Amino acid sequence: MSGRSETRERIVDAAALLLRDHGTSAVTTRRVAEAAGVQAPAIYRLFGDKDGLLDAVAEHVLADFVAQKAAVVEAAAAGDVDPLEDLRAGWRAQIEFGLAHPALFRLLSDPERGLHSPVVRSGLEVLEARVHRVAATGRLRVSERRAVGLVQAAGTGVLTVLLSTPAEERDEGLAEAAYEAVLREVLTDPEQPTVSARGGTAAAAVALRAVAPRLDALSPAEQRLLSEWLDRIVDDPARGPG
């Protein structure tokens, strides 16, 4: 490892510890420099400013977590793990991570910061992969995009409420209750994983939409046209139950 890379790593590690133990306000140039054993100008040279340093810390802390999630999803897809069980496991892991890293969660709750974070994008792709697997089974009655958005919104809301409540007063069942509410909104029926259940027309359309890009019997143009038609069926607010 080069001297520059080693210095950068020391600074990020020091800042991550300060963020974890004392929150964003503790991540000052002076305190980070002291903890990392470097001069303050080194931080400016490597990261530009405090925001640049915080971005680097967020990427550093989240990278391992996202990589672990991606590995779990890949293993679940290759094995015989039920997509709904995999999605629930991902939800629980996300809630646990947010509660264990409150300062990082608050940092990335800033839409502007999260929007430009490569590792946040990678984490979203993991969620999208999980939802896609559910869609392909015929159990999703809303579009994949809507399902991903609902899971994201519910997770952010739950963590915001829990982290703003004293630990001893938190509702321990809130996260699971919120997740069940999301399932009721996006699934045909949590207890009946079949296309013929309530909302079957939409579920069938979502399932076909999930595999449309892989239908080799169709040309790329035909695949795009089919996907457009299916999106119209799923997104049509006037459609009745299947």
**Would you write out the chain's pLDDT as a tens digit for each of its 242 residues?**
567 888 999 999 999 999 988 888 888 899 999 999 999 899 999 998 888 888 888 888 888 788 887 787 777 777 778 999 999 999 999 999 999 999 888 888 877 777 777 878 888 889 999 999 999 888 898 889 999 999 999 999 999 999 999 999 999 999 999 999 999 999 986 455 444 444 566 777 777 777 777 777 778 887 788 777 777 777 654 444 43
Amino acid at 107: L
Per-residue confidence (pLDDT) for residue 191, from 0 to 100: 52
- Would you give the DSSP letter of residue 187? B
The alpha carbon of 43 is separated from its chain's Cα centroid by a whole number of angstroms, namely 30
CATH 1.10.357 residue ranges for the chain? 58-235
Per-residue confidence (pLDDT) for residue 237, from 0 to 100: 44
Is-contact 135 207, C-beta < 8 A? yes
What's the predicted TM-score (pTM) here?
A: 0.73
Distance CA 152, CA 2 (A): 39
Per-residue confidence (pLDDT) for residue 198, from 0 to 100: 40
Output the CA–CA distances (angstroms, integers) from residue 187 to 46, 87, 91, 172, 183, in the order listed.
47, 12, 16, 24, 6
Per-residue confidence (pLDDT) for residue 205, from 0 to 100: 75
Q: Which phi and psi angles does 201 have, rounded to 5°?
A: -60, -50
Per-residue confidence (pLDDT) for residue 45, from 0 to 100: 92
SS3 218: coil
Q: What is the CATH number of domain 1-48?
A: 1.10.10.60
Per-residue confidence (pLDDT) for residue 106, from 0 to 100: 86
CATH topology of domain 58-235: Tetracycline Repressor; domain 2 (1.10.357)
CATH 1.10.10.60 residue ranges for the chain? 1-48
Per-residue confidence (pLDDT) for residue 1, from 0 to 100: 54
